[in-house]
Amino acid sequence: MFSRTTRQLSAVSSRLSRPSVMSSQFLRQYSFQVFRDAPPLRQMRRQLLLDQKTVGLVPTMGALHEGHISLIRQAAAENSDVFVSVYVNPTQFGVNEDLSSYPRTWDSDMAKLEEVNAELARQGGNVGRITAILAPTSKVMYPTLPPSSEIDGDGSFVTITPISKRLEGASRPVFFRGVATVCMKLFNIVRADRAYFGQKDVQQSVVIKRMVKDFHVDTEIRIGNTVRGQDGLAMSSRNVYLGARRHKVGLVLYTALKAAESAYAAGNVKRSDILDAANRITARVLSDQQALTPSERALFEVDYISLADPESLDELDVVDPSKGAVLSGAVKMAPLEESSAAEDCGLGDGKVAVRLIDNLIIKPRA
């Protein structure tokens, strides 16, 4: 698809200033450059442009899993250079949300990226490589005012309404403002030819596509399929908190969405006929759990099960088969009530509530 030049192992950018135990780790030699600030990355990017190379950006908050790796592989198949950003963005976490408990795993993330690069190298000249990591400080990403998570907090923000108020936005009012804001910054720094997001965060992908269209961002948004475990649970950085019991019960969301998808496939187009199939599943699994003892069960709350227009995310009464729809949902897995010492309760010993989201796309009929 494009030619590769020999690439030397390159040292980390000289603009290191992370005031933490991580500093020494940044000084390691990687097969990609690690940037903490925009200007040196921009210089590299400008040279790639002049050399007619292409850049695919994979934005992440670290805690990399197979879903991210899948996006990186896709980016490497479509671009000569893959840039991965690693930044846990404070403005998308609500004041009472889990910013502090979000997993931070720099060493294992870098090890995974090195593995991917070794894999890509074995594939030879037909695929790109990870050549840059952008791991900015918050002062780089929010240079003037400290990043605010308050709804009426001050700062420089991108807002995309009304779609940011729907679904996930209904329970997380600052979430998509934070996501759009940080992505606009990343897009401006990297000026990627393409940027990669997972289908799993469907509303995020709709918001970002809207932002790119409305603000004429010259980056193509590419959506990678949701990556699932063998049992079907969608990959998420937060899954490490589930443990075995809640993992198994958490499958209820995917199972419910599949039931709704089957109802549509069987010829139903009315909202109630499609969503009733999902709601029957969640109700049955919940009542099954409630019948168990506190040491056996995993309780949950359904936040929403939605049938929505794929572009506006407006709820649909009837699916127009020529336009398709998005089936999506969120459930909140409650902390375990009781557990034994021998049980696999996940990181945090089962005490962290975990919100799971998932979705299935009803594609428009040709």
What is the binding site for a second copy (CB under 8 A)? 38, 42, 49-50, 142-144, 154-162, 184-185, 188-189, 191, 210-211, 213-218
Q: How far is the CB of 136 from a second copy (least distance, A)?
A: 10
Query: Which is closer to a second copy, CB of 164 or CB of 339?
Result: 164
d(CA 268, CA 285): 23
Query: Which is closer to a second copy, CB of 156 or CB of 262?
Result: 156
Q: How far is the CB of 145 from a second copy (least distance, A)?
A: 8
Q: How far is the CB of 60 from a second copy (least distance, A)?
A: 18
50 Cβ contact list (under 8 Å, min separation 6)? none
Query: Which is closer to a second copy, CB of 37 or CB of 358?
Result: 37
42-51 contact pairs (CB < 8 A, 24+): 42/189, 44/131, 44/132, 45/83, 45/132, 45/190, 45/191, 48/80, 48/81, 49/191
Query: Which is closer to a second copy, CB of 210 or CB of 246?
Result: 210
Query: Which is closer to a second copy, CB of 214 or CB of 288?
Result: 214
The answer to whether the beta carbons of residues 152 and 64 sit under 8 Å apart is: no
39 Cβ contact list (under 8 Å, min separation 6)? 15
Query: Which is closer to a second copy, CB of 165 or CB of 270?
Result: 165
State whether residue 34 is helix, strand or coil: strand
Q: How far is the CB of 202 from a second copy (least distance, A)?
A: 18
- With CA atoms as reference, report the closest residue to 90 among 34, 37, 155, 35: 155
Q: How far is the CB of 37 from a second copy (least distance, A)?
A: 10
Main-chain phi, psi angles of 262, to 5 degrees = -65, -40
Q: How far is the CB of 146 from a second copy (least distance, A)?
A: 12
- With CA atoms as reference, report the closest residue to 84 among 56, 112, 43: 56
Q: Give me the catalytic one of 65, 68, 216, 247.
A: 68
Is 68 an annotated catalytic residue? yes
Give me the residues paired with residue 327 across strands: 307, 360
What one-character-per-residue DSSP string does 69-109 give?
Answer: HHHHHHHHHH-SEEEEEE---GGGS-TTSSTTTS---HHHH
Catalytic residues: 68
